[in-house]
Amino acid sequence: MNYSLSRCLIAALSAGIILLLPIALANAAETITIVANHGKFSSFETAAGSEEQVNWQDEDKSDDNACTESYAAVELKTFLPNICKYKEQDIKLVKSDNLPTSGHVFLLGTRDSNLLIDSFNAPGDRRANLSRPESFCIRSFEQNQRIVTIIEGADRIGVLYGVYAYLEKLGIGFYGLGEQGTVYPKRIVNLPADLKLTEKPHYLTRGFFTKGDWNDNDEFFLWMARNRLNLWTADQSQYRFLKKLGIKLTAGAHDIQELFLNPHSEYPYNCSKYKGDENKPEDPYSAGSEYLGDINKDGRLTYAEVHPEWYVMLGGQRDAHKHKRLRGNYCTSNADATSELAENLIQCLVDGQWAHADMVNFWMLDGGTWCQCQACKKSGIPSDRLCQLIHTVNSRIQEARRQGRLKRNVPLVTLAYSTTLSPPTRPLPKGFDYDNISMTFFPIMRCYVHSFADPACTECNQLLLKDFRGWSGGPGSYYKGSIFIGEYYNVSNIKTLPVLFPRIMAIDIPWFFRNGARHFHYMHTPTRLWGTWTLNQYLMGRLLWNIDIDVDVILNDYFGRYYPTTTETTRSFYQHLEHATANIKPLKHYIRSQGQPRNRYTMRFGLTSEDFELFPTKHLRYESYHPVTNDGPDIVEMMESMRLARGKINAALSACTDPVEKVRLVEDERRFAYGETMYKFYYHLLRTTMFHRKGDKELARREFIEVDRQADILRGIVDLVNVTFRHASAKNGYEASYLQAAYELYKKHYGKKE
């Protein structure tokens, strides 16, 4: 009897459960054969770990397929002994040359990689429609007193996803990270003999936007693959491992101009007006009348010194050479500037740091000013200019493809955000390549109390909805292409507080899809120490794959299996926490609010300014306030929900009798405690401000005692605020509050005298 079986029997007997085990259980000769194709590699294990030897960029995909499909076979072999009666030695991996004559059989692969799939006629077999990438079909049936299971993918990734879907059907839940986040069936399961399942993804791109190298994140990346998520960053040094798992790699963000047309970078050509650079390539551009020369006398020319006219004009001046930081987006009406930028980008894709990128985020500066020269103004509003620019750059990339310089297709993804949030006002360029250009809609100023299309959110989301309609094919829309949704579940200011979005995800993700979106990511995912974030991550993955799932069933399954001995208590904790954090945006980040500075509002701005109205919106007040529209949890309601959540998580920890569940609850409580402390810090600093404004120094001083206490606790929180991209991380919880200025201000008035 193997260890897994012993574990299940002991658990069952201790619970008073009698397991009805089939007679075949005692038959030690019964085996499983997994038939797949390890290609040119010597074994399945070798192929499964061969990602460093695979050329993921060439046109020969046989090694790509062998690597991923062998990995799928090894994963299946690894998990089956944990849930079935078979020992590891009972399961064999064989190459797809001949069908085994005895024992249960699994056929893994595509119809190209495993010819046995194409030749095998199952009872009532109908060829599955696997035209969409990553889709799969699972069929199992009895034949000659054995079970044959076919896991067929549209491609190598479909095969891998099919294996994970099969394991889920057997009762494995890949809810969270690693073994702690994995749930196994309570009883030994038998291989199903009548399984028929075909799935294809709704959203084609599903995952996370981030940048930077994330080391030692195998658990996270495996969790992504097991939950059919397929988007990460090309900056990752483990990119070959990600390629094996079918994860697409994005490069670029707001750094496109800095990288490929930086005004302070050395001019790479032999400028006709300068002596000393004759060893450089011939200059493809003529030096214009604005040529400056080596004005800083450092012995080299920069782009801005040779071509000031390429850069932003502000107030009638082109002075990019004077400023260390970019002051605005370059002069996009200048054809030479765009040509140089495109050429540098292409070279980076050919043999530079983005040589393994699958797509490029072609974004202009974050909220950057656009050039004010007459030629640019005639080009239209920023969205018009952006569409013309990305059309030109993509045309150059496609030309490089035709010339054979670039060996792979690299789509461009630009953005509707900030200055380009409004849709184009004029027709897009003729021949605009919708197959290779996508638009990401970033609703950064939305609220999460209301779903995105909720008509009751007139202060905020309805304003953004109008812009979305203009991009997604609404009346008068000029853009007709694919839409990415770039969500902000962990926008930088939130700093991975224990916010929860199940209710909003259940409404928004299907709605965006039904209104034209086919791609989805959010900033900035935590990759470890998830705690309460586990539910967000898991539910998002389920919905992006299948918008038609019954969310209530998913949640019942999640709480019932992930917290088996404290199901209702823990679920109540999550419900209180979700209510407490629903209005996080105006509290700690900001929402769109007309009439406020820059048409946005956040409460924390008012804590340092006597002139700032603390609660000008209906969305957020101090006392309970429930208008017909724009209603959200108010400050006192948030704090009460936090208090109730604390009671429930304490009760769950006290009642828990399962050791693995207790580890999960402890991690939940740690992240919750971080959020609880942050809310108390905000609450008491807000009350300090309110009393200070009233001139009640005594009550302000009493409140600040509690502010000081919470600040000390926040300073000791370090690991929980360093689980994501540096832009969304912090030195400690105090730094993550963004209230240092307010704290120091009131410390002068009400702090302890040294």
**CATH number of the domain encompassing residue 81:** 3.30.379.10
**347-369 confidence digits (pLDDT tens):** 999 999 999 999 999 999 998 99
Structural domain count, the chain: 1
**635-647 confidence digits (pLDDT tens):** 999 999 999 999 9
Structure tokens of 460? 């905020």
| Interval 152-161 mean pLDDT | 98
Tell me which of 95-104, 376-385, 567-576 is least confident.
95-104
CA nearest neighbour of 360 among 469, 478, 455, 440:
440
Give the chain's largest Cα–Cα span.
91
**Between 652 and 211, the higher pLDDT residue:** 652
Structure tokens of 79? 């998990």
User: Which one-letter DSSP state was computed for residue 20?
Assistant: -
With 70 as the cut, is the pLDDT of residue 7 above it? no
CA nearest neighbour of 618 among 396, 406, 456, 404:
456
CA nearest neighbour of 99 among 35, 160, 150, 37:
35
| Interval 713-728 mean pLDDT | 95
pLDDT attached to residue 10: 34
pLDDT attached to residue 59: 84
Domain of residue 107: give its range: 3-200
pLDDT attached to residue 598: 82
**Between 35 and 596, the higher pLDDT residue:** 35
For the purposes of burial, counting CB atoms within 10 Å of the CB of 546, is it exposed (0-12), middle (13-18) or buried (19 or more)? middle
**82-99 confidence digits (pLDDT tens):** 999 999 999 999 998 888
With 90 as the cut, is the pLDDT of residue 597 above it? no
Tell me which of 205-219, 304-318, 639-653 is least confident.
205-219
Q: Is 35 domain-assigned?
A: yes
With 90 as the cut, is the pLDDT of residue 611 above it? no
- Residues found in the chain: 754
For the purposes of burial, counting CB atoms within 10 Å of the CB of 395, is it exposed (0-12), middle (13-18) or buried (19 or more)? middle
**263-296 confidence digits (pLDDT tens):** 999 999 999 999 999 999 999 999 888 999 999 9
**23-53 confidence digits (pLDDT tens):** 333 333 389 999 999 999 999 999 999 999 9
With 50 as the cut, is the pLDDT of residue 302 above it? yes
Confidence at 11, pLDDT banded by 50, 70, 90: very low
pLDDT attached to residue 214: 80
The secondary structure element, H or E, covering residue 159 is helix 156-169
pLDDT attached to residue 217: 85
With 80 as the cut, is the pLDDT of residue 586 above it? yes
Distance CA 404, CA 622 (A): 63
- Could you give the percent of the chain with pLDDT greater than 90? 88
Pairing of strands 104-109, 32-36: parallel
Pairing of strands 32-36, 91-95: parallel
For the purposes of burial, counting CB atoms within 10 Å of the CB of 256, is it exposed (0-12), middle (13-18) or buried (19 or more)? buried
Q: CB-hemisphere CA count at 13 Å for 67? A: 20
Confidence at 602, pLDDT banded by 50, 70, 90: very high
Q: Is 249 domain-assigned?
A: no
Distance CA 486, CA 366 (A): 14
Q: How many CB atoms lie within 10 A of CB 316?
A: 7
Pairing of strands 248-251, 173-174: unpaired
323, 305 in Cβ contact below 8 A? Answer: no
Residue 270: φ, ψ to 5°: -80, 95
- In 497-574 the beta strands, taken as DSSP E runs, fall at 517-522
With 70 as the cut, is the pLDDT of residue 22 above it? no
Q: Is 241 domain-assigned?
A: no
pLDDT attached to residue 176: 98
Q: Is 122 domain-assigned?
A: yes
Q: Is 38 domain-assigned?
A: yes
Q: Is 78 domain-assigned?
A: yes
With 50 as the cut, is the pLDDT of residue 379 above it? yes
Q: How many CB atoms lie within 10 A of CB 748?
A: 7
**Between 129 and 333, the higher pLDDT residue:** 333
Q: Is 167 domain-assigned?
A: yes
| Interval 156-182 mean pLDDT | 98
To the nearest whole number, what is the mean pLDDT of the chain?
Answer: 93
With 50 as the cut, is the pLDDT of residue 1 above it? no
CA nearest neighbour of 356 among 469, 524, 271, 238:
238
Q: Give strand pairing partners of 517.
A: 483
Confidence at 6, pLDDT banded by 50, 70, 90: very low
With 90 as the cut, is the pLDDT of residue 120 above it? no
Confidence at 122, pLDDT banded by 50, 70, 90: low
Q: Is 423 domain-assigned?
A: no
Q: Residue 721: CB partners within 8 Å, gap ≥ 6?
A: 495, 496, 674, 729, 730, 731, 732, 733, 735, 736
- Could you give the percent of the chain with pLDDT greater than 70? 95
Distance CA 605, CA 610 (A): 10
| Interval 574-583 mean pLDDT | 98
pLDDT attached to residue 753: 74
154, 112 in Cβ contact below 8 A? Answer: no
Q: Residue 380: CB partners within 8 Å, gap ≥ 6?
A: 424, 425, 426
| Interval 55-69 mean pLDDT | 94
| Interval 431-443 mean pLDDT | 97
With 60 as the cut, is the pLDDT of residue 658 above it? yes
Confidence at 419, pLDDT banded by 50, 70, 90: very high
Confidence at 125, pLDDT banded by 50, 70, 90: low
**533-577 confidence digits (pLDDT tens):** 999 999 999 999 999 999 999 999 999 999 999 999 999 999 999
pLDDT attached to residue 192: 96
Distance CA 274, CA 307 (A): 13
